[in-house]
Structure 1
Amino acid sequence: MADRESSSLFGEMRRMARTSGAVGGIAARITGERVFGIKTDKARHAEDLKAVLGSMKGPMMKVAQFLSTVPDALPEEYAAQLAELQSNAPPMGWAFVRRRMQSELGANWETKFSSFTREAVAAASLGQVHRATLPDGREVACKLQYPDMPSVIEADLRQVKLAMAVYKRMDNAIIQDDIYVELSARLREELDYHREAAQMRLYRIMLDHVPDVNVPEPVAEYTTGRLLTMTWLKGVGFKNWLEGNPSQEQRNALAAALFRGWYIPFYRYGVIHGDPHLGNYQVSESGGLNLLDYGSIRVFQPHFVGGVLELYAAVRDSDLERARHAYDIWGFKGITAEQIEVLNDWARFLYEPLIQDRVRPIQEDGDTQFGRAVAQKVHSGLQRTGGVRPPREFVLMDRSAIGLGSVFLRLKAELNWSRLFHETVAEFDAEALRARQAAALLEAGVPDAQ
């Protein structure tokens, strides 16, 4: 079974045949408009693209979700449609489930459970989830990886590389080479459920004493490279919770839990969850956060985290030289003073709520798309000044900021973000972070962290 599901030429060819029309359509329309002046109905084609990708399992949907959060990685029409993609691909049937469970836990796998649902309770991009009960009474979630995922990953990444290369020739504002490298590395890591289990243990360590943030516990004896079993957390999906018309106080409490759940690991351990997609968490019975998915995790060197705080201080004090130092720490190479001014427009947008010591929404201009107007301004400025090449470490950090900002906007949360931030970064020390990070990674057993 493992050999049949390794990356293969034929597996990649099948996948590319299914996706090349959608990706080729993007390329044709961008090329036609930018080079030949041919106007095309990009909005209509973007809807077609969403329909194609949304019906497919695998990383192409995840890639689309990712690119929709990177400002101007794709034209606005495509980004708006792809942002709506949810992890809702139809689940695999019982025949697949039996084969997968038998290959992972043996022919007598059903005897190892007191109960196991035949129907999937959730379908995601790389796998589906079944609810089960262990002989000791623990309720668990069993995530099964879909078949042939290695070849699916490689085929989809080839298509994404093609689309990004075409767009790069038409638009040089953001040189995306390292974005692709980072995206590829993180997607390939998500194939290893042993790794995800270790990253889940890491989050249990980092968030152990954080109120209103719940992390499931992986069950080692029921976990393999393609099966991840974890304790079941009771909760409700974000959209359904909002439909219940929660109070402003409840909205604020959930927003505070989200902030701490993402940024305590980053500022105290140098670790970030790179996928703030709505399907990756729930609202707990007490109104807190159930964080469910740990496939896309990034570990940073302490100096990189220090660069985030350096840029915060630069924006707060309007200090151009300090901003240059921050971008240098992050690895932006050869940027000019004019480009720093352009990048600082984005930094001011992200940091403004953290600087203002007052209760406020995360964004006050009424725009329903978090940061889109600012991103377009920055994009135009980078085009004018010759473009920049963001370092790969920057990608998931920025994605988390954008993704969480969008969630805070939808929550209509009103908090003193500055106080939350300063509580989180209090007494930051790079060497202390390095020591905490090393100890936590070792205890959790996270492989090849950096």
Structure 2
Amino acid sequence: MTLFARVPGTGGAVPPALTRMRRVATAMLVVMALLFLASRALEARHPAWGFVQAFAEAAMVGGLADWFAVTALFRHPLGLPVPHTAIIPRNKDRIGDTLAIFLRDNFLTAHVVARRMRRLDVAAVVGRWLANPVGGQGRLRHGASRLAASLIQSFDQQRLGGMVKGAIANRLRSTEVAPLLGQAIQAAIAEDRHVPLIDGMIRFVARAVEANEQVIRAMVHDRAGSILRWTGLDETLANKILDGLRKLADDIAADSQHPLRAKAEEGLAKLAADLQSDPALQARVEQFKEDMIGNPALQRWLDGMWERSRAALLRLVRDPDRAMAGGMGDALRQLGETLQRDPRLARTINRFVRRAAVGMVADYGDAIVRLVSDTVRGWDARTITGRLENAVGRDLQYIRINGTLVGGLVGLCIHSIDVLL
């Protein structure tokens, strides 16, 4: 059983309710015609038939007039090219332009959109959704996750990965690393965050001495004279050197005011200043940066980082429930609660959304209007006629029914007045 039936001349499928109302309106007109014929034949038998005849005659006139008016909107009545009929097919382009102008003047102007957007609290809606993503919102989340996964998979991996690597490399090339390093070292020294670095360097020296004890002893033995080696003093000298290095490392580690520690801090401060002001040092740092960017090892590292990031992102969007149950879910829920509690942040977001909407209307409103106008112009006459008739045809059939009844009542009143006077 089909829900819609095709009716010639409508240009599309017609709802059964419209077909049913057409039949009712036509049936009433036929009934009025039969009643008129019967009352005309019986008028001589009783005066009451005159009233029936007047009612049926006026009802036929009203029904036919409204049938003509309704039909003339969509086609030529009885196929006759009567002037000012088939109004919609003949004026479809003007209808499309008028509809587009109405849409532009009443919906797609900046002040209208801004006024309506002021009533919307987008931040609160987003906050509630993030804080309690359940029920229908869960279905929305799953749908969005499937869409996001499809979009990510549709991208060309090599091309997108190359774009990501190229963007990172271009960003690194456009960034002057030396001044940033100088400022970072300077800020670390000002807040004593360089102390762990110096402590680490001291521990590294101490471990290097212990790890290379045999190397140091061999150097002393090789450089000592034959007399020192014959008397065994080279071993004593090596022990003294090693003990002195160990004691120096211990002293520097224990004494925060040690002169060598101060020298190291002075060297770091000079390095920070040179990184910000010495063109020669800055050039060497930039050259080192360029060499690093062009190094195949760094390119392979970026490739691996991109693949891991892409795989992690796909896992995330494919399983939103798992993501919402983890740390990211906690962060999103916290963001939702913050949006509901912080009026200043909410105002900022709502202002941004409102300005974005107004900006889109200002930039693309005319394009949307042209799209509506061009779409209507692109429809053939039967298509637009069928769509409009399907949309309002049922109500128009009520006009035919009302016209039949009202016409009959008017005819009855006129006949009554004629008889009484």
**TM-score normalised to the size of structure 2?**
0.16
Bigger radius of gyration, 1 or 2? 2
Which structure's residues are more often helix, by fraction? Answer: 2
Which structure's residues are more often strand, by fraction? Answer: 1
Q: Which has the higher contact order (CA 8 A, sep 6+)?
A: 2
